[in-house]
């Protein structure tokens, strides 16, 4: 019946196939799309052809996928844009260049597999995304095996001036810089190079006004050459460089380890953190910040004036606080990434605990973020006249500790080696967290009140359902915010770390927790909060069906008083 209805109307077919895709019903969507005769004449037919191509590549029909995506490209040039991640925020009305045609079927597969891998992740099937991203990497290798592509005289001149042989070029496209958390990933990428995991000459390609934080980005100037489309290079040259990522791009989604294994990029990053700390290496971006800004009179004077305006004494210490909220992306509650948000009210006890020890708390974020109530020694920095990209980074660099979550500013604190308390965390990915991190996850409960275990949260199918609030809801699960006592406890554990006091860890409890992880580096080298484990151990560490999972990469409160007392 669905097939007959769909063949009568392309509009109806489009609605039905897309709805099935969004529900993760890929087999049904594929069968329905296979009944359609598409001539790629209209724009709607082209969009349906691209959707069909995604379903074909998931079904393992590469020939059919290439045919369908080629049909889509002929009618809608936007589909010829080189693609790795939607974070690049592409403009519409793309004008293909000669490299977009020269890349051929392998180039089409590179773009298609990267895009499809993201889309299946968005609908809760990230387990399929890993293989698709690996296929994109294989398509890139296939392109390179056929020799260097012909590039324009302008690009040849630019690369010659920069001293970058074409076969040594490593393009870092826009997705690495459009979000501040991605800039933190860039830090780990260059650490991977220092570890000997990759080589070549990196070239970062950005657009003006699309760099998440120019101050933080400036810290990478010694690590790579940078071109700005429309400023340091023409639009045509910039687009050609971006098209070269099919041959020479550093992949944003997966990484090939030195042993040849292809793993999700975050998995590789977490492994890099482990090796980096094992070798006793430091914090390169912190050193770079100190070199550029640490002795700059204007920066230091602005920082001093800001502290004085708030009433801080020269020796006063402070903690930075950042919560994720709906204002930054204008999110609608219950959709997309809104399950990562949390209310500021649950942080107030942690703030009072810190200020009660003589510290200050400086809340970061956007001007529309939820406001702090009036509290002694607590500053709502986004509302101040001092707010700037530079002061955002300066405040984190000089903080005694950082309270955050699974969001971008956390990566800045990690890069600078600031001890971090991360709460209300929920993620599908391994984390780039170091040994100065203590964290608490959002409890995820089913309709009957059952709390998902650590093992379930890091294994199929629940791991992948964590990506999207709507997907979780459809599967009868609801994330809960960390309670005030949990937030306060994790913050206290990290303030202890920052002040050099011994941690109140429970080795046996932590050992039980680690046995539920799919890999020892699932959360980098960080540790979950001992208080959180103690509070939920009976359910969160339950055995049985939720015992230690297969490694997917390989195919009532106990707290009656503050955990820490006394000033730092």
Q: For 49-83, what is the HEC assignment?
A: HHHHHHHHHHCCCHHHHHHHHHHHHHHCHHHHCCC
The reply to whether 1-80+104-147 and 149-252 are identical in fold is no
Residue ranges covered by each domain of the chain: 1-80+104-147, 149-252, 284-546
Best CA proximity match to 381, nearest among 360, 354, 410: 360
Beta-bridge mates of residue 420 = 402, 437
Q: How far is it, in rounded angstroms, from Cα 24 to Cα 37?
A: 23
At residue 554, the pLDDT reads 34
As averages over each run of 10 residues, the pLDDT of the chain (568 residues) reads 59 93 96 84 91 97 96 94 92 94 98 97 96 97 96 98 97 96 97 98 95 96 96 97 98 96 97 98 97 94 96 97 76 75 95 97 92 95 95 98 95 97 96 97 96 97 95 95 97 94 84 95 96 96 55 33 45
The reply to whether omega before 289 is within 30° of 0 (cis) is no
| Site of tokens 């290079």 | 233
Find the helix or strand (DSSP H, E) in which 547 lies.
none
* Domain spanning 284-546, CATH class: alpha beta
Specify the pLDDT at position 556.
34
Q: Do the bridges between strand 254-256 and strand 262-264 make them parallel or antiparallel, or are there none, so unpaired?
A: antiparallel
The CATH class of 1-80+104-147 is mainly alpha
Backbone angles phi, psi at 542, to 5 degrees: -60, 145
- The CA-atom distances, in angstroms, between 336 and each of 458, 465, 477 are 20, 11, 15
Residue 546: its pLDDT value, please? 39
User: In sequence order, which residues have a C-beta less than 8 Å from that of residue 554 and are 6 or more positions away?
Assistant: none
Here the tokens at position 204 are 């970062």
Q: Which CATH number fits domain 149-252: 3.80.10, 3.40.50, 3.30.565, 1.25.10?
A: 3.40.50
Q: What is the pLDDT of residue 336?
A: 74
- Compute the distance between CA of residue 511 and CA of residue 513 in angstroms, rounded to an integer: 5
pLDDT in tens, 21-56: 999 999 999 999 999 887 767 899 999 999 999 999
Rounded Cα distance, 164 and 160, in Å? 6
Quote the pLDDT of residue 210: 93
pLDDT of residue 167: 95
For 419, residues 6+ apart whose C-beta sits below 8 A from its C-beta are 400, 401, 402, 436, 437, 494, 495, 497, 498
CA 474 to chain centre: 24
Q: How many other β-carbons are positioned within 10 Å of the β-carbon of residue 407?
A: 22
pLDDT of res. 330: 60
- For the beta sheet containing 360-363, the strands, ordered from the edge strand earlier in sequence to the opposite edge, are 378-380, 360-363, 318-321, 401-404, 420-425, 437-441, 527-528
Show Cβ contacts of residue 305 under 8 Å, excluding neighbours closer than 6 positions. Answer: 386
Q: What angle do CA 392, 395, 401 make, to 5 degrees?
A: 125
Contact between 490 and 423 under an 8 Å Cβ cutoff? The reply is yes
| Distance (Å) of CA 386 to CA 214, 383, 560 | 17, 9, 38
Q: Which helix (H) or strand (E) holds 102?
A: helix 98-102
pLDDT recorded at residue 549: 37
Give the 3-state secondary structure of residue 288: helix
User: At 232, is the secondary structure helix, strand, or coil?
Assistant: coil
In DSSP terms, 404 is beta-bridged to 422
Q: What pLDDT does 558 receive?
A: 33
Q: Is the Cα dihedral 60, 63, 66, 69 positive or negative? A: negative
């Amino acid at each position: 019946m669905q097939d007959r209805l769909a063949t009568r109307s392309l509009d109806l077919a489009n609605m039905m196939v897309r709805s099935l895709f969004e529900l993760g019903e890929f087999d049904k969507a594929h069968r329905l799309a296979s009944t359609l005769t598409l001539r790629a004449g209209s724009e709607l037919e082209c969009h349906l052809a691209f959707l069909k191509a995604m379903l074909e590549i998931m079904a393992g029909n590469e020939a059919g996928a290439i045919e369908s995506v080629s049909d889509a490209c002929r009618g809608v040039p936007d589909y010829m844009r080189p693609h790795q991640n939607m974070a690049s925020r592409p403009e519409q009305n793309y004008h293909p260049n000669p490299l977009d045609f020269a890349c051929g079927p392998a180039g089409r597969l590179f773009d298609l597999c990267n895009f499809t891998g993201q889309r299946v992740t968005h609908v809760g099937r990230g387990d399929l995304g890993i293989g698709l991203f690996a296929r994109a990497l294989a398509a890139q290798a296939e392109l390179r095996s056929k020799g260097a592509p012909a590039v324009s005289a302008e690009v040849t001149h630019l690369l010659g001036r920069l001293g970058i042989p074409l076969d040594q070029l490593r393009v870092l496209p826009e997705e690495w810089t459009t979000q501040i958390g991605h800039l933190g990933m860039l830090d780990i990428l260059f650490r991977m190079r220092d570890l000997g995991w990759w080589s070549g000459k990196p070239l970062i390609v950005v657009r003006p006004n699309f760099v998440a934080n120019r101050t933080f980005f400036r810290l990478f100037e010694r690590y790579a050459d940078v071109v700005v489309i429309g400023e340091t290079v023409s639009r045509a040259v910039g687009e050609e460089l971006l098209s070269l990522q099919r041959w020479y791009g550093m992949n944003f989604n997966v990484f090939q380890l030195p042993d040849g294994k292809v793993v999700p990029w975050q998995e590789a990053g977490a492994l890099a953190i482990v090796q980096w700390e094992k070798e006793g290496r430091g914090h390169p971006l912190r050193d770079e910040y100190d070199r550029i800004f640490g002795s700059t009179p204007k920066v230091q004077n602005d920082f001093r004036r800001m502290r004085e305006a708030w009433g801080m004494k020269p020796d006063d210490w402070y903690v930075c606080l950042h919560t994720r909220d709906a204002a930054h992306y204008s999110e609608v509650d219950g959709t997309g990434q809104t399950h990562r948000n949390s209310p500021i009210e649950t942080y107030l006890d942690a703030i009072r605990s810190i200020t009660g020890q003589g510290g200050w708390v400086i809340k970061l974020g956007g001007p529309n973020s939820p406001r702090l109530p009036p509290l002694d020694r607590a500053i709502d920095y986004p509302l101040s006249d001092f707010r700037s990209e530079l002061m955002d980074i300066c405040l984190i660099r000089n903080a005694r500790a950082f309270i955050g979550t699974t969001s971008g500013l956390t990566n800045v604190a990690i890069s600078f080696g600031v001890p971090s308390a991360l709460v209300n965390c929920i993620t599908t990915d391994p984390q780039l967290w170091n040994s100065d991190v203590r964290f608490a996850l959002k409890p995820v409960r089913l309709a009957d009140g059952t709390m998902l275990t650590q093992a379930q949260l890091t294994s199929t199918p629940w791991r992948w359902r964590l990506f999207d609030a709507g997907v979780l809801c459809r599967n009868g699960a609801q994330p809960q915010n960390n309670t005030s006592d949990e937030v306060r406890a994790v913050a206290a554990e990290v303030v202890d770390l920052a002040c050099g006091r011994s941690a109140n860890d429970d080795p046996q409890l932590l050992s039980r927790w680690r046995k539920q992880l799919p890999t020892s580096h699932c959360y980098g080298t960080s540790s979950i909060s001992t208080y959180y484990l103690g509070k939920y151990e009976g359910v969160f560490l339950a055995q049985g069906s939720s015992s230690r999972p297969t490694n997917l990469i390989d195919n009532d409160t106990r707290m009656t008083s503050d955990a820490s007392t006394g000033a730092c």
